[in-house]
A and B are shown apart, each in its own frame.
Chain A
Amino acid sequence: MRIYQHLKPRQISILAILGVVSMVTVILSLLFGAFSIPVLKIFSGSATPLQIEILSQIRGPRVILTLFVGAALGISGAALQGLFRNPLADPGLIGVSAGAALGAVLAIIFSTNFLPNMSLGVYAVPLSATVGAGVVIALLFILTRGFTQAGVTYMLLVGIAVNALATVGIGLLTFISTDSQLRGLTFWLMGSFGGARWSLIIPAILVISLAIGCMLAYSRRLDLMQLGENEARRLGVNVSRVKIIIILSSAFMIGASVSLSGIIGFVGLVVPHLVRLIGGPNHTYLLVGSALLGSGIMVVADLTSRIVIQPAELPVGLATSALGAPFFLWLVLRLKKS
């Protein structure tokens, strides 16, 4: 079986444009911020050591992380909407983001309260978040008997229950936290790329790249799934395997993203819709397009959050939700009409 669908010329042009746009946003994002770095100075070699330091050690890893997190949110939203055959599916829906958030919040509260000497330093929060995401994945795996049991509705309901439980956990921890912890926790929950360091982001980038590769290899099979699970099986698709690959890839990349950037809402939901709207629903196009547009939007959102109230920063999750929520509402109204 072919693993991809031939793209229409229109789709190829859209992907090319999205690619160029996200590259441009990356360059802009590297140059602008609270600390300005003139382009000419970099190319003429007359940049100061401080400017080079900021570019390579602070802004560089931050922009790269933003790019990958945006791609992860976009592509996993697209793949899950395909797998569940439901345009309202989202990486947050299966509970993995909430699990990662709970893990991170645990680390924020307890690493200062009870474990001051055992502190893992900057690694405590991402590690704990990854464990949180892992626990949710394992829980989903067990409750749905390896993602194969029953239908999509069942899996979504399990996800909703897991989400609710994690929210309770976060609520309890918020309740017992001190004022300074509460501040850190609140900002983390609103999402930010501020903590990016090369040593932290490289493992996440590897996980996200691998997961994107796995998803792309299943793009045509996701197309066939749109005919229904039975029909896909008759066309030779191993439906259980598609479920396992898509859910695991999505869970790992969302776990890796949330562990470093906090919760960033609506990108995974909204981006695939836009991409589908302009070029069509086939997944070879949709997955690549959603990764590119997700990156572009994320980089722009991060840049905006850095420059609107300089030298302070707006949490990037606020920016994406502020834009995403009205779009989501429009989407729901549009669905109701049709």
Chain B
Amino acid sequence: MSIVTSNMSFIRNSEFALRNINLTMNEGEILALVGPNGSGKSTLMSLLAGDIRPTGGRIDYGDTPLETWDLSERATYRSMMSQQHVVAYDFTVREIIEMGIVHAEDIVKGRSYSTVVHNIAEMFELTKVLDHSIRALSGGGQQRVHLARALAQVWQEDNYKDPKFMLLDEPTSNLDLAHEVKTLSLLKNEVRKGLGVMLILHDLNLTAHFADKVVLLKNGEIVDQGSADEVLTSESLTAVYGLSINVSQGPLRVTHF
């Protein structure tokens, strides 16, 4: 199973925000969306999540067009985390993570809600703050809570028998270096169990290290897609970012000064 777009475009204010997008997001794979600000990464992710409808072309979840999935079915197939989160009242971290558990019967299977919440909180080092108000946490802490919620929405303990996907728009933008690497490793671990993850990342070295597949966007069009080695080349990055960028191989390193 997968999330697939075919010849998809999106027009905003009578201009193409995205044009002719063909990509496939697979289970058991980290796909990184890379490109300059305004290249259409977040818009693409909103389209894939089903927040907005494409102007042309189509999006399929598995073999079925996205429009035919109702909201609650979509919620069990994919989760999405956007960049900004403002929670209106003093909900506790535990309550926020629980909000992600959208389908009791499937995920619980003899395990209580609290066990699921506890497991996920442990992965994100949130156990100690479970009963604190989310608004009392730092920006990075809040971001980890929302990530934990997005994972709770699709999480399966052993292997991902049903196809599940996560769409994450700059999930580590507020995290320090250590938490950023830990978080990405943790996601990588879920991906090994069969989860499909799409990330928007600005750090090209982290992208090179963690992504199985890289999609490079510029002005709403896909410039190149493939493995990190194939896509993150000095020529294409220099062309896309308009900045002289060096790439050295083995291990892949991207430098620009």
Contact = CB atoms under 8 A, between A and B. Distances in A.
A235 B86 CA distance: 16
B85 A228 contact: yes
A133 to B, nearest CB: 27
Contact of B86 (A5, A87, A228, A282): A228
A85 B87 CA distance: 9
B91 A281 contact: yes
Given A227-B85, A231-B85, A234-B75, A280 B99 contact: no
Interface in B36-86: 49-51, 71-76, 79-80, 82, 85-86
A13 interface: no
A182 B73 CA distance: 58
Interface stretch (B100-108, B227-235, B238-246): B100-108
Given A227-B87, A230-B82, A233-B71, A5 B95 contact: yes
Nearest to B88: A85
Find the residue from A2, A85, A224, A276 having the highest chain B CB count within 10 A: A2
B80 A282 contact: no
Contact of B51 (A6, A223, A234, A238): A234
A236 B90 contact: no
Nearest to A286: B89
A234 B85 contact: no
B113 A223 contact: no
A236 B96 CA distance: 15
B82 A1 contact: no
B69 to A, nearest CB: 10
Contacts of A82: 88
B106 to A, nearest CB: 11
Interface residues of B, number: 30
B114 to A, nearest CB: 9
Q: Is the interface of A mostly helix, strand, loop or mixed?
A: loop
A111 interface: no
A226 B149 CA distance: 14
A276 B88 CA distance: 12
A237 interface: yes
A234 B99 contact: no
Contacts of A234: 49-51, 74-75, 79-80
A224 B87 CA distance: 10
B153 interface: yes
A160 to B, nearest CB: 20
B92 interface: yes
Contacts of A227: 85, 87, 96, 99
B160 to A, nearest CB: 19
Contacts of A5: 95, 98
B104 A282 contact: no
A235 B49 CA distance: 11
A235 B100 contact: yes
B85 A224 contact: no
Given A1-B72, A237-B71, A231 B82 contact: yes
Contacts of B102: 1, 235-236
Interface string A215-248: 0000000011011101101111110000000000
B95 A282 contact: yes
7 contacts: A6-B113, A87-B88, A226-B91, A227-B85, A234-B51, A236-B72, A276-B90
